[in-house]
Structure 1
Amino acid sequence: MATKIVIKIKNSDKLIAIDQIPVATDDLGDELVAEVEVVDVPARPRRAERNPLHPNALTLSDLKVGMHIKVNYTGDCPWARTYSAIVVGKPKKEERDVIIIPLFRLDTQRYYTGYAPDMGLTRYGWGSYSWSPVRYVTAED
């Protein structure tokens, strides 16, 4: 059995990073301690490159194989909905230069290919350079 520990880093109440680490439950004791050490490393792009629909929205660089995510839908289409999924492969470019993400959807129990711009992980690049107006991705709680 595993437990995932979600790490959120904030600066002045602004979320600047989020990640999760799976830990075997058998190894956890009653006195779990997390230590933080700040070191100088080049920062990756933060808030400016995140989907504006949600403050905790993930970007493509935040995804890791095995990560549990929630693809949130905010539109009014009756057959489109929010779903939970597991990232099962590394993102890759399709022949039309669209980035695809291999997923396993937990609601349908099927493998699925998500298009990064449609999921709200990247901006659309076909002339508009805008974010998806109805979808964004967060780490599953």
Structure 2
Amino acid sequence: MPGKVSILDLIRRRDTGTLKRGEIALISLLDIVDADLADFGDMDNHERLIRDLENASASISDEVFEYWTQSDGLAVKLHVLQPEAGAQAPLNEGPILQVRAENHRHRVSVPFDERSRGFVWFFSFLAYVA
């Protein structure tokens, strides 16, 4: 599952059938809370979207850490961002969905795809089959 994606690019590639496996897992994660990619463009429902993303983060984090015992005190967080100045395509087109792994013990978070390969695979697999 990628650590950061352009929602507009993800929608285009979903519609053309060119998604990568990790992106399919990300969409499956959003499906857990009935969040559609189109919801990200509707900033009138920003609070509902934040709530849905927090719910998805909590649900899948609880499930993952029931089985993943190598690192406790972790949580996966989903954030909606605007593109960074000078970002390369497709991350120059917002909104951007960022997935981060938060370590409560050290009080830091890192982009999801910078966690261990095993953790990224395991989390993505559970999101895909949930």
TM-score (normalised: structure 2): 0.29
Q: TM-score, normalised by structure 1?
A: 0.27
**Structure ranking higher in strand proportion:** 1
